[in-house]
Each structure stands twice: as C-alpha cells, then as structure tokens.
Structure 1
Amino acid sequence: MPIDTSVAVGAALPDRTFSWTESDVLLYHLGIGAGSREGDNLSAQALRYTLDDANLQVLPSFGVVVPTFHETNPPALDLPGCDIDLQMVLHGSQEIQVHRPIPTSGSATLKVTITDVWDKGKAAVIVQEGKAFSPDGEHLWTVRSSIFVRNEGGWGGDRGPSTKVELPERTPDAEASYTVTPQQAMLYRLCGDRNPLHADPEFAAGAGFPAPILHGLCSYGIVLREVTDAVLGGDAAKVGGFSARFAGVVFPGDTIKVSAWHEDGRVVISAVIADGERAGTPVLADCVLTPA
C-alpha cells in the first residue's frame, strides 16, 4: 500500500528553519491580488499591503507559505510512509492561527507532525500540523492542513470527522468580488509553490484539467484579504485565525464572489465563482475567520 498509516501517523518531519524580509511580504500580497484595483496606489488601506513603510502589515495567511517561500523546485511530498504521485494530489484544507501579528521580517523554525491519515474510499486524506517558533522560542503561529490524494483510499480505515459550517439564511453583512488575473498563478508561484499543475498546460491535462488551475492557497489568500478589507477595515492584526476547505478549482479569468456574516463571535464566509457556466460553484467551503 502506497500509504503506510503505521509509519505515517505521528511521524515528525524534519524541522525547517526559514527567514523572510519585507520584500517577501510585498510579493506575497501582490500574488494574492493586493493593490490590483483602480485607485489602490493612492489608498492608505490598500498600501498597508504593498508599500514597505512603517504601516506595512502582514496578512496571517503569509504564515502558511513563508516556510517554503524561497524554494524553486516543485514540492517533493516526501512524507514518512507515503509513496504518492504528485499528479494525484490536491490541497484539501488549510488553517492558520496566529498567536501575535506576524512581523514584516524575521526568522522562525517550523516543527511539523503528521497527525492523521483518513480513508475516504476513493482517496486518502493526510493531515499535518505545524508550529512556528521564533529563535527565542516564542510560539508565533500554528498551521494545520490536509492533502487529498486521489486513488489512494479504500483500505478500510477511519473516514475521519466531518465538520460543516452552516451559512446564515440572511443577507450577508459584507460582500466583495475579485477577478483573477491572467498571470495570477504565474505570479503566485514565485511565492514558493512551483507545482506544474498551476503553470504547465500539459501537466494540467495529465491531471484531468483543461488548463492550469490557480493555487488553492492563492484563492485562500485572496478570500482572506477580501474579507479582512470588507469586515475588519483592512486591519490584518484583527485576524486571529482563518480556516477553509478547498471545494473547487479556479482558473485565471474567473471572478470569486465573497460573502461574509458575523455569527457567534466569528465571521463565516462563502466563496464561489461569480459568473459564467460555473456560476455559484464553490471555491472554498467551511470557511471561517476568527477575530484576534
């Protein structure tokens, strides 16, 4: 069996020590569409993402990508007990919790463990948790993620929990939309994810897609940025956590419609394709922003 759960579950990955600069923060924000609207070059709120002055802030989703930000090779997915084909892998879900605002430059060490492997029948889901610590031992943030590996399920294992976030049946408290640019995936891949699924048409076709698709984490960052701007006044320090399940694909040229509701002390979010033949199909599901 390509996935040996007796080896994988509980396995610790090698520690990863990394650094980042203000330039990395700016590139990440540009990669998720910051500064792209008319007038953003003159907007104090928009410039908090794109100008390296005293007001520069870091959107928490940056913490998900910064450990691999300077990598130029496609992800190897070298996980203990897991012999899997990259073409069969999709990002399943992502969560980050920040324990303080992420600084605009710094260094940290990420400690990652495989916490679970679930059997979904036609696929396996591999769950990882990582904790980032500053050089002096301060716990900066925690990330949790899952990958969906097609054709690797069916061994009779536990299917895992099913957590569904219900959306209110009332008018959203805020709405926004963002149109993915033709070069969005090419720009975002400079943030450390060179998976050819997002750039190479032949590779994408081999994975069953008509064209390269946008990185799930790019959609994740776009939605968080839009909601932060729409309901938190663009103040990234007010975001304590953000979680979502990747529920559909996004292609360059698609418009993502975001709706948000304040509910039980958190913000629950819908993110769908806005128009065209795929109008209404989900981009993210079970999407929640937890205020700091």
Structure 2
Amino acid sequence: MTIDMKVLEAARIHDMKFSYTERDAMLYALSVGMGADPLDVAELPFVYEGEALRTVPTMAVVLASTGIIRKTGADFTKILHAEQRLVLHRPLPVNGELLADSRVAEVYDKGAGKGAVLVLETTARSAKDDQPLFTFLMTVLARGDGGFGGPLGSGPAPHAIPDRPPDASEVYRTRTDAALLYRLNADRNPLHADPAVAARAGFDRPILHGLATYGIACRAVLKAACDYDSARMQSFDARFSAPVYPGDEVVTDIWIEGASVLFRACVPARDAVVLNNGRCVLGDR
C-alpha cells in the first residue's frame, strides 16, 4: 500500500472541540506516578486541589486527540509512534474548553519496503479567548507506505545527548496496573490491556503507553530541574526507542544546560533505553 501526496495535503481538521476538568488533570498526574507517596508535599498539588491544583505539562498531548492519522490513508495496522514534541504557548490551565486544528506538517518517503515518515501537527486554542495554548507534533513511521514518490528524508533531527555523566537521575518504579490507569486518559488501545492482543503483537504481556513513559520523564524533569514549577516548561520533546512494561523501574538521566534540559530514560533491569534524545526548554514564567 502507498499513500498519496494529495490525500496528505488535504488531511486537515479545524476547530474540533474538546473539554477537560480538574478531575482529568488529577487522573493524568496519577497515571504518570504523581502522588505515589501521599505525604510528598511537592507532588500533592498535582493530585489534590487543596490550595491550588497544578497540571503536568505533558497532559497537553492527551487533551486534543483529533485522529488526524486516519485521514492520511496510511496503513494504520503498521503505524509506529516514533517521536513526540510539545510546545506550550502558555501554562496549561487545570480545566478548559479547547478548539483544535490538525494537519500533516511534514512527510518523507524512505522508499519501497522502508516506510514513510509523517509529522502530524495539532494546535489547540482556548475556546474562551481563541488564543493558542499548545502545539504538539507526533512523528510516526508508516511502515507499510514507502515508495509513494514523496520527498526523501527521515524526519526531524534528534536532539543530542551530552557525552558526560548526568547532573541528576530520577528513579521511579511504575505500577503493575500503570497501563490500565493511563489508558483512562485517552488511549484505549487493547495492546495496553489485553494479554491476548499483546501476545499477537509479539509481547509477553501488555506494554505501557509510550506517552505514559513520556509523562514519567516529565515528572522527573519537573523535580530535578524545575522544583515542580510546571509553568516554567515551554517545550518537551522525546524519541521512543523501546517499550516499558508495567512494573518496570524507569531511570531518567538529566543534563541541565542553561535553559535546555536534556534527558534520556532507561530500564536498567533490561538494559533498555526507552526514551532518547529528550529536550525540555525552560522559561522564567
């Protein structure tokens, strides 16, 4: 199967409506491990409304799932989520109504039998003032769709990781039911819940969502580089390199270089790098 450039150019969504509440903000925070220690007063504001509820910035990527990928004509059964990039135009409110626009921002043809790279862009605006809140770009490898005559290339260049020991390493053990909890945010793919579906995909048990690992890394960066001030985060990018299984211990190594925070996450027990080429940009908001 091959995709068609005209179809990709026409694949657009405009003003799709979404809404979320404080309950959604707390559920997302819980699903990426916030509040694991109920006495941790630094994380409590993300899971308890108390004095002032805060949001985990990477929640943005689950708030406006427009389904643009289904308009591209790509073979959905052979799609691999390769990278996630997020730009926060302003701090993410704890609730709100959104209007989202999506398009295919970039496309690269890796050749017949090698697949295609699609960069899908979604920008969400607050319905209250029509001003942008966030933009995220999802890079996917469409493994069954190469050789369609599109531009050559392999997608956005990865962020480089420093060749020196990390400035901080944050260690989090994921819950054994982490995937069942995370799927309540937006992604109910049975790969993350049904052992039979996972087995057919080549896994011995359901795997954790890549975006859950992405959120776990955000939790680590919030602690190590932001003192949990989520309003400072202006962008958060990472590449997915291996799956995490619920119950795995995830170690996020962090390098702080001025306003740029570089990171990589691994599961030492399996000697697996699960997120790579991560970069978060901080501001003084």
Q: Secondary structure at the match of 2:253?
A: strand
**What's the C-alpha RMSD, in Å, of the aligned pairs?**
2.0
Do residues 64 (structure 1) and 61 (structure 2) align? Answer: yes
| 1:256 Cα offset (Å) | 1.1
- Identity of matched residues, %: 37
Runs of 4+ residues over 3 Å off in structure 1: 154-157
Q: 1:283 aligns with which of 274, 280, 283?
A: 274
CA distance in 2, matches of 1:204, 1:116: 31
Match of 2:27 in 1: 27
Match of 1:9 in 2: 9
Unpaired runs of 5+ in structure 2? none
Q: Report which stretch shifted further, 165-174 or 175-184.
A: 165-174
Do residues 119 (structure 1) and 109 (structure 2) align? Answer: yes
Q: What amino acid is aligned across from residue 92 of structure 1 in structure 2?
A: A
Unpaired runs of 5+ in structure 1? none
Do residues 44 (structure 1) and 41 (structure 2) align? Answer: yes
| 1:45 Cα offset (Å) | 0.7
Q: Secondary structure at the match of 2:154?
A: coil
Question: Which TM-score applies when normalising by structure 2?
Answer: 0.91
User: Is 2:177–2:246's contact at 8 Å kept on the other side of the alignment?
Assistant: yes
CA distance in 1, matches of 2:38, 2:87: 30
User: Is 2:64–2:124's contact at 8 Å kept on the other side of the alignment?
Assistant: no
User: Is 1:17–1:107's contact at 8 Å kept on the other side of the alignment?
Assistant: yes
Q: Secondary structure at the match of 1:191?
A: coil
| 1:134 Cα offset (Å) | 1.2
User: Is 2:56–2:219's contact at 8 Å kept on the other side of the alignment?
Assistant: yes
Q: What amino acid is aligned across from residue 59 of structure 2 in structure 1?
A: F
CA distance in 2, matches of 1:91, 1:83: 13
Residues 177-232 of structure 1, C-alpha deviation per residue, up to 9 Å, x if partnerless?
11121100000000010111111222222222222211010000011111111121
Q: Report which stretch shifted further, 258-267 or 150-159.
A: 150-159
CA distance in 1, matches of 2:80, 2:35: 28
CA distance in 2, matches of 1:144, 1:162: 10
| 1:13 Cα offset (Å) | 2.2
In the TM superposition, 1:125-140 aligns within 5 A as 125-135=117-127, 136-140=129-133
Q: Secondary structure at the match of 2:261?
A: strand
Do residues 141 (structure 1) and 134 (structure 2) align? Answer: yes
Match of 2:157 in 1: 163
Q: Report which stretch shifted further, 203-212 or 25-34.
A: 203-212
Q: Secondary structure at the match of 1:52?
A: coil
CA distance in 1, matches of 2:110, 2:244: 23
User: Is 1:180–1:255's contact at 8 Å kept on the other side of the alignment?
Assistant: yes
Match of 1:225 in 2: 219
- Aligned residue pairs, count: 279
Q: Report which stretch shifted further, 217-226 or 120-129.
A: 120-129
| 1:66 Cα offset (Å) | 1.3
